[in-house]
Amino acid sequence: MDRKDFDAIVVGSGPNGLAAAIVLQQAGASVLLLEAKDTLGGGLRSKELTLPGYMHDVCSAIHPLAAESPFFKTLPLTDHGLKYVLPPLSAAHPFDNGTAAVLDKSIEATARQLGTDAGAYHRLMEPLVKDWPKLAPDLLAPLHIPGHPLAMARFGLHALPSAVTLANQLFSTTEARGLWAGMAAHAIQPLTNLTTSAIGLVLMAVGHVKGWPVPVGGSGRIAAALASYFLSLGGKIETNTYITHLSQLPSARAVLFDVTPRQLLQIAGHRFSSLYKWQLGRYRYGMGVFKIDWALAGPIPFTAPECRRAGTVHIGNTLEEITGNEHLTSEGKHPERPFVLLAQQSLFDSRRAPDGKHTAWAYCHVPNGSQVDRTAAIEKQVERFAPGFRDLILARHVMNTAQMEAYNPNYIGGDINGGIIDIGQLYTRPVLRFSPYRTSAKGIYICSSSTPPGGGVHGMCGYHAAQQALKDVF
């Protein structure tokens, strides 16, 4: 392929790299997208990890933000093969007494199960769901003057406190507090940290607005649809091209990197100012994950029937238990009963497993870089709420933090968010600058989840980085 005539180069084909490439190509630039692996997608890949005929999502699995991404919603991805299926329940949260709290699309149905906390849940979620169309573009963007300041202020009032503080202010029942803790634990940090309420609020709001969809055929179908659309615009793609230094790239007016600060320093650090290099070197990564995929002889036999209708199951029992175990993990420990995020896509997508058989996907948080095998701890947690689960296991595939990073170099120490998204890095990722996407070197940009708005399959980091490049260079 002739690599001399491109206006822009995007390195890395995760959802943000794909989004950046599409934005630039849509604007009339000629774009080359480079991917180190033999398949596109970053965290959006699916593969037969266990047995033939069992399709597993290698990393991301359930995609509430992909379906509600302000950018992805503008693209004709259904024309390029992308279909979603919505489980009847977005998420379920089982308890030791055999019951479960659930996130239903209906606010009323969700609140009804929360007893005396029903009114508090209504008052929390109804304004947020009503405001969501106004909030989404502002929340999934860098720090700026919001287009709807009153809606953002209402959101911020509840998003700024820690998840524990908000729970103590609003909820008294085990059901409401547990359901809330499972949502907030997606922040991958102690639930006593400021702003851990934000991710819980966003996930619950999207659950009521849209639900938590499962891509038919696997998460790789999202990447395939984005790549197909990019190619239809005239974009070019090269795989098996691992970039370790700028000298490997042809000249271009702009280069956008879908990598984290550590790799960016390795690739282009010689072009950066001393201050910018120092800032990147101080960037912080968060907890990692230990992940398991299972091939199963049947569906997971959860005691609570609601769990059998949910695409995602949060396993951790009470708010107090989840809070304690996430805190231990953040301190470098491995709690006996880790919080487990579990997805059961094959219940709703028959393409994932042979007839009558099933797949399941789960991970727990671990200290960054941990090499400890958490298989037994995770399976014990699932068995706790689904007796007989282990008898159904036909095969398993596990990935520790080192294997996660080898799969995707952006997962430093197993951190799937591209860096911790705490109050210190919420809007200053990767560094404190007028534009977080510009580097100190002209024409070089960073577009990964290490920039605002952070982790998740939404493409908005790439979208905003490309918009910045268009303003600066084109």
Tell me the domain boundaries of the chain.
Answer: 8-36+241-283+417-473, 84-212+287-407
State what percent of residues in the chain have pLDDT above 90.
Answer: 98
Q: Are 96 and 175 in contact (CB under 8 A)?
A: no
Within 10 angstroms of residue 356's Cβ, the number of other Cβ atoms is 8
pLDDT value of position 426: 87
Collapse the DSSP code of 471 into the 3-class scheme (helix H, G, I; strand E, B; otherwise coil) and give the result: helix
Domain 8-36+241-283+417-473 has CATH 3.50.50.60: yes
pLDDT value of position 1: 43
CB within 8 Å of 133: residues ≥ 6 apart: none
User: Per residue in 251-265, pLDDT tens?
Assistant: 999 999 999 999 999
What is the identity of the amino acid at 164? V
Containing 193, the helix (H) or strand (E) segment is none
| Distance in angstroms (rounded) separating the CA atoms of residues 326 and 324 | 6
Does residue 466 surpass a pLDDT of 50?
A: yes
**Of 130, 124, 151, which is closest to residue 139 (Cα–Cα)?**
151
User: Per residue in 89-103, pLDDT tens?
Assistant: 999 999 999 999 999
User: Per residue in 123-158, pLDDT tens?
Assistant: 999 999 999 999 999 999 999 999 999 999 999 999
- ∠ Cα 319 325 327 (to 5°): 100
Q: Are 16 and 446 in contact (CB under 8 A)?
A: no
Phi, psi of 31, rounded to the nearest 5 degrees = -125, 135
Collapse the DSSP code of 84 into the 3-class scheme (helix H, G, I; strand E, B; otherwise coil) and give the result: strand
Q: Are 432 and 426 in contact (CB under 8 A)?
A: no
Within 10 angstroms of residue 410's Cβ, the number of other Cβ atoms is 26
The helix-helix angle for 163-170 and 319-330 (nearest 10°) equals 170
User: Per residue in 390-427, pLDDT tens?
Assistant: 999 999 999 999 999 999 999 999 999 999 999 999 88
pLDDT value of position 2: 52
Does residue 3 surpass a pLDDT of 70?
A: no
Number of helical H runs and strand E runs in the chain: 15, 16
- For residue 171, give Cα distances in angstroms to 5, 47, 168, 302, 447: 59, 41, 6, 26, 38
84-212+287-407 CATH: 3.90.660
Output DSSP code: residue 8: E
pLDDT value of position 261: 98
User: Per residue in 75-89, pLDDT tens?
Assistant: 999 999 999 999 999
User: Per residue in 203-215, pLDDT tens?
Assistant: 999 999 999 999 9
CB within 8 Å of 251: residues ≥ 6 apart: 4
What is the identity of the amino acid at 332? G
Collapse the DSSP code of 93 into the 3-class scheme (helix H, G, I; strand E, B; otherwise coil) and give the result: strand
CA 367 to chain centre: 18
State what percent of residues in the chain have pLDDT above 70.
Answer: 99
In angstroms, what is the C-alpha Rg of the chain?
21
Reading phi first (left if > 0) and then psi (alpha if -120 to 50, else beta), residue 171 is in beta
| pTM for the whole structure | 0.96
Does residue 37 surpass a pLDDT of 90?
A: yes
